[in-house]
Amino acid sequence: MRVWAVPRTLRVALLLLLLTSSNVRAPPPTEAGEEDVGSSGRGRHRRRAFPGPHFHPTSPTNITTQLGAHAYLPCRIKNLGNKSVSWIRNRDSHILTVDRYTFIADERFTAWHEAPTQTWTLQVRYVQERDAGSYECQVSTEPKMSHFVQLSVITPSVTIAGESDLYVKSGSTVNIKCVISNALEEPTYIFWYHGDRRVVSANSDRILSVNRIPPDTSIGKLTIPSVSLADSGNYTCAPASLEMASVMLHVLSGEHPAAMQRGTTSTATTTASSAPRGFADDTTVAALMTFLLWLA
């Protein structure tokens, strides 16, 4: 049997072919959510199949704000694509906004998009009690997708501490306290009025202050050092966007103030005048009859 000599270069080529064929493997299976879209000289390419628009589970369904404050209703949408987002007020089915456009004459309503968080937010400025209710965030898919947010409005209570009439002696220091309770946040300002004139602390001896008492109370205080008769009158506390409260300040002079004396005299006069008329005449007649009987 004759053995043919194999050239060295051919043996090397055959060895490389064997090594290469032993490392050839089947391509890995396509991952879920991916699909092959073809191949080219640069290799195979894959494209991930994303789901359509959907609401993020962290989108809130209840928002609470207080009367006069600003409310923010967020709607977080993933994979929105080219779809539109509308906000609708459910109590009258009024379309408030579509994307960044407003479709209501009430300028308190606006909407904007926060791209990093994929959130469409409806803003309601200077909230009123009638703004409470359900709002719908709607995406223009087929069929429509909706996310509902319930807006609750809390109305703080505004009162003046103490009686509605305050009596003080001239020269004393007066502190009038305006108590704002059940308030989620401190009012942006508290104005005070003496009659129809606003009270200011600049260039005067009046002192204005506001203290916050957690969790939901604010107290505005008006201090008048050494009051005089000119300080008498009606004082009104007017917090931002809330109801007002008033107190009547009476400044009295002397140890026995004339106003109090007049009040006592007026009361006494009213009491005397309220006695039944003719009471003195009946007594006199009875006395005369008794005297006549004695004479007989």
**DSSP secondary structure string for all residues of the chain:** -PPPPPPHHHHHHHHHHHHHHHT--PPPPPPTTEEEEEEETTEEEEEE-----EE-TT--SEEEEETTS-EEEEEEEES-TT--EEEEETTTTEEEEETTEE-SS-TTEEEEEEGGGTEEEEEE-S--GGG-EEEEEEE--SS-EEEEEEEEEE--EEEESS-SEEEEETTS-EEEEEEEES-SS--S-EEEEETTEEE--TTSS-EEEEEEETTTEEEEEEEESS--GGG-EEEEEEETTS--EEEEEEEE-SSS-HHHHHHHHHHHHHHHHTSPTTHHHHHHHHHHHHHHHHH-
The pLDDT score that the predictor gives to residue 155 is 94
User: Model-level pTM greater than 0.85?
Assistant: no
Q: The domain at 157-252 falls in which architecture?
A: Sandwich (2.60)
Residues of the chain short of pLDDT 70, as ranges, are 1-50, 254-296
Instruction: List, for residues 124-150, the tens digit of each pLDDT value.
Output: 999 999 999 999 999 999 999 999 999
CATH code of the domain occupying 54-154: 2.60.40.10
Instruction: List, for residues 156-197, the tens digit of each pLDDT value.
Output: 999 999 999 999 999 999 999 999 999 998 888 999 999 999
Domain ranges of the chain: 54-154, 157-252
The pLDDT score that the predictor gives to residue 50 is 58
The pLDDT score that the predictor gives to residue 294 is 46
The pLDDT score that the predictor gives to residue 16 is 52
The pLDDT score that the predictor gives to residue 204 is 80
The pLDDT score that the predictor gives to residue 293 is 47
